[in-house]
Copies of this chain bind each other. A is one copy, B any other.
Amino acid sequence: MTEESAMGAEARKRPVAQSPGSGLKPAQRARYLRIVDSAKQLASEGGYDAVQMRAVADRSGVALGTVYRYFPSKNQLLVVAMVTQFEEVGEYFSGADLPGDTPHERIMGVLRASVSRLEQDPRQYDALVRAVMFADASSAPELDRLGQVLTELFAKSAGIEIVTEEVLNAVRIVADVWMSTLVAWANGRQSAEGVLAHMDTAVRLVFDRLERLQRAG
């Protein structure tokens, strides 16, 4: 909806979500980050169920009430964790020019990298993906932020400068397929290779059309 500068190390816009843990004093920001980090660690170790709020509090060296001061629920905490993970991926790929001659190839490069991340820590991503998909309306800002991070990532990987409405729609479709496929991967109905094969089809579909449109227009 509202346009984005599509990068900007410092976010300072009010209308929509920004990188989490921003307007906090140092000590608070440290606590905030420790809590998110503990959640990720516990997720890595034992998946969604192992992320127990008491355990998060313990590991963060913080009282249970404090966890709830920063995050209104376990699920929102995990959604924030997911956002930070994808932000990391986004930053990782933000500078470099990606190899590959077509948008399709470049996006698939990013996806291959992402899938290998998933495979290194299946429990964690199982927990995060399920939390994101389970999230209710109260997580809407974080979910919007996640969508924004994803679409930016794909749009940038594609190497498309002018992000028209057409491009945005296309990229959103790729992101949707990506999330659905992650769910299938998380609950074991789809292998890592299956994920990549499926995404390959989807990306080809979407960007074939874009190329045609751009050649025509």
Contact = CB atoms under 8 A, between A and B. Distances in A.
How many copies of this kind of chain does the complex include? 2
Given A173-B202, A198-B169, A209-B205, A139 B187 contact: yes
Nearest to A175: B180
Nearest to A191: B1
Interface string A169-198: 110110111011101101111000010001
Contacts of A186: 136
Interface residues of A, number: 38
A186 B170 CA distance: 22
Interface stretch (A27-35, A52-60, A127-135): A127-135
B130 A189 contact: no
Q: Is the interface of A mostly helix, strand, loop or mixed?
A: helix
A187 B143 contact: yes
A188 B137 contact: yes
A208 interface: yes
Given A136-B187, A179-B183, 18 more contacts: A130-B136, A133-B134, A140-B187, A140-B188, A140-B189, A143-B187, A144-B189, A147-B189, A169-B201, A170-B201, A170-B205, A173-B173, A173-B198, A173-B201, A175-B180, A176-B176, A177-B180, A179-B180
Interface of A: 1, 48, 126, 130, 133-137, 139-140, 143-144, 147, 169-170, 172-173, 175-177, 179-181, 183-184, 186-189, 194, 198, 201-202, 205-206, 208-209
